Structure 1
């Protein structure tokens, strides 16, 4: 994940990029590793401990047990095709053998959040930057920055799907343009409400495809079962105007009808759209606006009163 998509503050995450890299170094995420110009490193498989593997196994078992009937068929198919190791942190090189054959994508290891331009360049060239490190035992249910489980279990299976794989490449190319147009705030909202926290409508009902939900036990239940959040039909203009949450479950989920709909939304040149939206007010994470295709209006129960991002 890039700095902008994590915080919607292009070029900054709790301080300068230099500060962030120092923080990663001090945490041992770079220690003994060569940081390449594209911010990738060789996955340090020798550094995974028995605790790391145990956490992966626990998270995998917990999520896999509850996702049947909740997650999109495309995700389940991707998970099965990858043959991802259930008992230990996967070796990225082994995953890449299957990914490359299927859609030409590959996973590259990074120490954590990367600069926006670097992130978009990776996606535009069918490389998904994944944090190599695992969360700590006390972080099983929540951590702010994406770890290996979030990035690999949550994101990688859908890269097997040709349409979603094309969407991610198109998003990367769009990010490179947006970075030069001062529009990363709007484009990051699209990533947040689709790639991270998206729902899809199927004949069997709503299903999850967003990685931020898929890697969270609590939000996997909340996003589909709770009466608290809004669920609104996908609209790219609406999403680009809508703030979001990084410290709580989402107040609103946007629902696509298909991955083709998602990919088609990235086809137009967004430059005129950015200009149009700059003249319109942003919306709060829990707002319901005129013209919304409302599947249900949330009860707002338990919503935090802190600021949206």
Structure 2
């Protein structure tokens, strides 16, 4: 299981109102004062946002735009080779810009007609219940900062490239968007932290790091794979397991390394049936019964 806080640099507000993003010592931008000031300013805009207000528009620098252009071009090529047909069809309908960083309101304007989802800003970590629960209203909380320009194809934390190139291309599929909405509905039924954590881990191994077999090849549909220049080249070397909600929700894994075990669906329909079906029926009692039961051995091997 993972602690979602490890994915984000902590954001704090001082007594003077100053917002600070606390980068780890391993972060590529930790010793770049300009980058740190930039991150603080973008986080402050997100923290000041209130629902119903206009989404903050970020005036991105040329360094940030260059990072986006590099990552968007490289990932687009990777998607053609490794992404599932459902993701590719959604991406074509969405038509994200490759020459500049889309503002969140631009992403929303393109997504809403396709799946009803819209983006709102996040400074960093959004608590699990709020993040997943917002899916019921077809809202996705997205960071707006960009990884450090010294490493355009790497980030230790989710940035706008992950949130937009990974999740928006996925959410452009009505079939995947419907699964997200079921996640949000499930959160409203869950009362215990243990059940919420189980749901988050199933989401991790499906909508973040899910793979599917298509025409004899293993293709990715998870946003974490779609937005990772390195891991999208390596995921076919992972040990593949059949979809199994109990395993997915109880697996122990390290978020800081490429995932050595992935769960492979036989089709998009199986993702809807197994993963979507779990989210659609999840309650505290269902999760408790699932974790208590032995892992079934009847599903097709990948």
Distance 1:272 1:79, change over 3 A: same
Deviations 1:188-212 (CA, angstroms, capped at 9, x unpaired) = 1111101111001212421101111
Distance 1:271 1:117, change over 3 A: closer
Distance 1:15 1:161, change over 3 A: closer
The Cα of 1:172 is off from its aligned counterpart by 1.7
Partner residue of 2:246 out of 234, 237, 243: 237
Does 2:21 match 1:24? yes
1:162-181 maps to which residues of 2 (within 5 A)? 162-180=174-192
Distance 1:13 1:145, change over 3 A: closer
Residues 197 and 253 of structure 1 are in contact (CA less than 8 Å); yes or no, is this contact kept in structure 2?
A: yes
Distance 1:67 1:181, change over 3 A: closer
Residues 200 and 255 of structure 1 are in contact (CA less than 8 Å); yes or no, is this contact kept in structure 2?
A: yes
Query: Which residue in 2 is equivalent to 1:273?
Result: 286
Query: Which residue in 2 is equivalent to 1:71?
Result: 83
The Cα of 1:293 is off from its aligned counterpart by 5.2
Distance 1:13 1:92, change over 3 A: closer
SS at match of 1:232: strand
Deviations 1:243-285 (CA, angstroms, capped at 9, x unpaired) = 222110001000122242232232223322322245479xxxx
Deviations 1:65-90 (CA, angstroms, capped at 9, x unpaired) = 12213101111111111111101101
The Cα of 1:230 is off from its aligned counterpart by 1.1
Please, what TM-score do these two structures have when normalized by structure 2? 0.80
Query: Which residue in 1 is equivalent to 2:120?
Result: 108
Query: Which residue in 2 is equivalent to 1:98?
Result: 110
Partner residue of 1:7 out of 3, 6, 19: 3
The Cα of 1:7 is off from its aligned counterpart by 1.9
Query: Which residue in 1 is equivalent to 2:214?
Result: 202
Please, what TM-score do these two structures have when normalized by structure 1? 0.79
Residues 5 and 125 of structure 2 are in contact (CA less than 8 Å); yes or no, is this contact kept in structure 1?
A: no
Distance 1:145 1:265, change over 3 A: same
Distance 1:264 1:72, change over 3 A: same
Q: Take 1:188 and 1:292, find their aligned partners in 2: how far apart are those partners?
A: 24
1:122-133 maps to which residues of 2 (within 5 A)? 122-133=134-145
Does 2:48 match 1:35? yes
The Cα of 1:137 is off from its aligned counterpart by 1.9
Q: Take 1:91 and 1:37, find their aligned partners in 2: how far apart are those partners?
A: 17
SS at match of 1:173: helix
Residues 144 and 246 of structure 1 are in contact (CA less than 8 Å); yes or no, is this contact kept in structure 2?
A: no
Q: Take 2:149 and 2:139, find their aligned partners in 1: how far apart are those partners?
A: 29
Partner residue of 2:131 out of 119, 133, 137: 119
Query: Which residue in 2 is equivalent to 1:250?
Result: 259
Q: Which residues of structure 2 form unaligned runs of 5+?
A: 23-36
Q: Take 2:136 and 2:301, find their aligned partners in 1: how far apart are those partners?
A: 33
Query: Which residue in 1 is equivalent to 2:34?
Result: none
Distance 1:272 1:163, change over 3 A: same
Does 2:95 match 1:89? no
Q: Which residues of structure 1 form unaligned runs of 5+?
A: 282-288, 297-309
Distance 1:290 1:234, change over 3 A: closer
Structure (1 or 2) with the greater helix fraction: 2
Distance 1:79 1:32, change over 3 A: closer
